[in-house]
């Protein structure tokens, strides 16, 4: 392990949302039940929705998960299920995916295994400079392709048919199916990507969707509006017709005020606004954010922290409960028993117990 982690915390996002709408809020823009339309706030405008280079931040991910879909996805119960993949076979050195026959792009053309091969090779191209390319390391030869030591054709991903994809693994990977939900593994249609050039996924017309929604308007500096994608394979399960992402900012007090006035359907809260929302009688809900905060020590030999026993001693004397609940004191934050999730295991042994 590169450095001892102490005082680790997992962060959940606390939100309030409109369960029932008062009469004076029915006409507000936050929720329109007749049009099946909601307005949500994001902290700022994404630079791009190119899944290869998009920043790994919440406001970008929030949009990407609506307009794109990978091999795997999480259902409404937060259970892992098939996205573009209808079925899959897992072995220690490979995963074979069978794609859905009705998985389509928003232009009506089918999503194929080649779309994944192209996207993943582009992801590992050193010239792409993807900030999250290292997440693909479980794929065979990924690190060597990323470093330029091997050509992209040597990456362990192959289309053995238009609807069958084989992913070869560098080593057994217990979390690989979950990894496939990440936006960097979404497919990209090569012809559309090349035609769009450097402007790919930076406007309504330069983005192609295979998710539940597609971009209907992209108003720079103001908002992005997405609407239901009629070509989405599971469109019957999509309840909303439209979602508006307004660039409101990160200030939780502003979000709470806009929520109270019916201008937005969801507000993200922090330790300053969560108590106020509770006092106002709103129901609060937490969602796992996937963030892990920890204290790390430098391993430079000239520093005392290079001593492993010292790092262990510091870890033992830190009162994690006080650190998390009184110092950090952020609603939704809890102590992490390990840097690994409890579902992560190999041959029945959880990493958290190893």
pLDDT tops 80 at residue 210: yes
Rounded Cα gap, residues 90 and 97, in angstroms: 9
10-29: average pLDDT: 45
Q: In the structure encoding, which two tokens stand for residue 186, read together?
A: 């979404």
Q: What pLDDT, on the 0 to 100 scale, is given for residue 350?
A: 59
pLDDT tops 80 at residue 36: yes
What are the chain's domains?
6-14+284-353 (no CATH), 44-247 (3.90.76.10)
List Cβ neighbours of 295 (8 Å cut-off, separation of 6 or more). Answer: 5, 6, 7, 318
Q: What pLDDT, on the 0 to 100 scale, is given for residue 346?
A: 56
pLDDT tops 80 at residue 265: yes
290-304: average pLDDT: 79
Rounded Cα gap, residues 278 and 19, in angstroms: 15
Q: What pLDDT, on the 0 to 100 scale, is given for residue 299?
A: 80
Q: What pLDDT, on the 0 to 100 scale, is given for residue 4?
A: 34
Q: What pLDDT, on the 0 to 100 scale, is given for residue 19?
A: 40
pLDDT tops 80 at residue 117: yes
User: From start to end of the chain, where are the E strands?
Assistant: 6-17, 31-32, 37-42, 72-74, 80-82, 85-91, 94-99, 157-161, 164-168, 213-219, 223-228, 242-247, 266-269, 284-295, 333-335, 345-346, 349-350
Q: What pLDDT, on the 0 to 100 scale, is given for residue 304?
A: 86
Q: What pLDDT, on the 0 to 100 scale, is given for residue 10?
A: 44
Rounded Cα gap, residues 62 and 281, in angstroms: 27
Rounded Cα gap, residues 325 and 9, in angstroms: 10
Q: What pLDDT, on the 0 to 100 scale, is given for residue 303?
A: 86
Share of the chain above pLDDT 70, in %: 85
Q: What pLDDT, on the 0 to 100 scale, is given for residue 42?
A: 87
* Averaged confidence pLDDT in the chain: 86
Which range, of 200-209, 211-220, 280-289, averages the lowest pLDDT?
280-289
226 vs 288 pLDDT, higher one: 226
87 vs 293 pLDDT, higher one: 87
Do residues 13 and 286 lie in contact, with contact meaning Cβ atoms separated by under 8 Å?
yes
pLDDT tops 80 at residue 61: yes
β-strand pairing of 223-228 with 213-219:
antiparallel
Which range, of 10-14, 134-138, 181-185, 302-306, averages the lowest pLDDT?
10-14
pTM of the model: 0.81
């Amino acid at each position: 392990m590169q450095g001892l982690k102490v005082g680790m915390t997992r962060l959940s996002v606390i939100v309030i949302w409109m369960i029932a709408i008062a009469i004076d809020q029915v006409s507000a823009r936050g929720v329109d039940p007749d049009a099946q339309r909601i307005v949500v706030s994001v902290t700022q405008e994404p630079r791009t929705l190119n899944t290869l280079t998009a920043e790994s931040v919440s406001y970008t991910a929030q949009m990407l998960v609506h307009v794109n879909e990978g091999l795997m996805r999480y259902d409404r119960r937060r259970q892992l299920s098939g996205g573009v993949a209808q079925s899959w076979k897992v072995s220690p050195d490979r995963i074979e995916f069978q794609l859905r026959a009705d998985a389509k792009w928003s232009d009506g053309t089918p999503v194929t295994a080649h779309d994944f091969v192209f996207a993943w090779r582009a992801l590992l191209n050193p010239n792409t400079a993807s900030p999250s390319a290292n997440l693909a390391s479980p794929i065979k030869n990924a690190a060597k392709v990323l470093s330029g030591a091997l050509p992209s054709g040597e990456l362990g991903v192959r289309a053995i048919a238009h609807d069958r994809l084989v992913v070869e693994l560098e080593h057994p990977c217990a979390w690989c199916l979950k990894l496939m939900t990440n936006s960097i593994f979404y497919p990209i249609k090569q012809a559309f990507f090349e035609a769009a050039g450097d402007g790919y996924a930076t406007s309504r017309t330069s983005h192609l969707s295979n998710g539940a929604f597609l971009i209907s308007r992209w108003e720079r500096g103001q908002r992005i509006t997405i609407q239901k994608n009629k070509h989405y394979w599971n469109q019957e399960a999509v309840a909303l017709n439209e979602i508006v992402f307004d660039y409101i900012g990160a200030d939780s007090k502003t979000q709470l005020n806009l929520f109270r006035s019916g201008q937005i359907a969801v507000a993200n809260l922090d330790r300053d606004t969560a108590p106020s929302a509770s006092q106002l009688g709103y129901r609060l809900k937490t969602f796992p954010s996937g963030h892990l905060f920890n204290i790390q020590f430098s391993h430079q030999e000239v520093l005392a922290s290079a001593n492993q026993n010292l790092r262990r001693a510091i870890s033992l004397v830190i009162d994690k409960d006080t650190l998390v609940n009184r110092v950090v004191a952020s609603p939704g934050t809890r102590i992490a028993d390990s840097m690994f999730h409890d579902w992560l295991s190999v041959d029945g042994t959880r990493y958290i117990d190893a």
